[in-house]
Amino acid sequence: SKTVSDSKKYFVLSSTEGCATNLQENNSYRKDYAQNGMQAAESAEKADVILINTCAYSQQMEDRSTDLISDYKAKYPRAEIVVAGCLPKINPKKMRTEFSDLPVKSLPESLDFADQFDRNDFEFLSDKHRLVVKLRPLYHAIENFFGVLFHPLHNILKTVIVNEEFHLVTASTGCLGKCTFCAIKRAKGSLKSRPLPTIIGDFENGL
């Protein structure tokens, strides 16, 4: 019979600059892989499957995603590279022309959304986001020492998208808007609400 050591290993990373949904999805993909008997790898080098959760809300982020995919394909030719996230839906033509050999993975409909960020994901963020993550504990310690909240800096640092202290509750996904300048609708689709008892349960678990 197959032992734990024999099971495939996966590694999940993101191309986002700081999208909360993307990072939340990372943990949901990890949960999905674990439920299918796979183990988490310590690094991409040790993984059999590397999932790249892409961001493509702008040309800059689309280029960052495609560069990351190309880089990992070249670095780890023996691993299976899987593409997830916004890029396949926002620019399917690019996926067909540049990465037609790669499988595309979507979150299973039945899978619950992750309620926490994984701190390991923060190392893939942009420099400014990583700086905020490192400085925030020190800044809050200074505020606590003086007993003063320094606004608006306090609000900026407290509400920045990547925060390991958040408990995430997803009420809905998608959008009802029809903004011509926004590509996210193509990736997320129309508004789809989660059942109210599920939302309340997530909230109570957070408390």
Residue 92 pLDDT greater than 90, yes or no: yes
Task: Give the pLDDT band (50/70/90) at residue 7.
Answer: confident
Residue 50 pLDDT greater than 70, yes or no: yes
For 11-66, the DSSP string reads EEEE--SS-HHHHHHHHHHHHHHHHTT-EE-SSGGG-SEEEEEE--SSHHHHHHHH
Q: What is the pLDDT of residue 6?
A: 65
Render the burial of 103-125: b for 16+ CB within 10 Å, e for the rest.
eebebeeeeebbbebeeebbebb
- Please state, rounded to an integer, the average pLDDT across all residues of the chain: 88
Token pair for 162:
């990547």
Q: 99-142: per-residue pLDDT in tens?
A: 999 999 988 776 777 888 888 888 888 787 888 888 888 888 99
* Interatomic CA distance for residues 88 and 104, integer angstroms: 7
Q: What is the pLDDT of residue 19?
A: 85
Q: 8-19: per-residue pLDDT in tens?
A: 999 999 998 878
pLDDT, average across residues 38-62: 94
Residue 193 pLDDT greater than 50, yes or no: yes
Task: Give the pLDDT band (50/70/90) at residue 154.
Answer: confident
State if pTM tops 0.85.
no
* Interatomic CA distance for residues 198 and 173, integer angstroms: 14
In sequence order, what are the residues at sequence separation of 6 or more whose Cβ sits closer than 8 angstroms to the Cβ of residue 75? 44
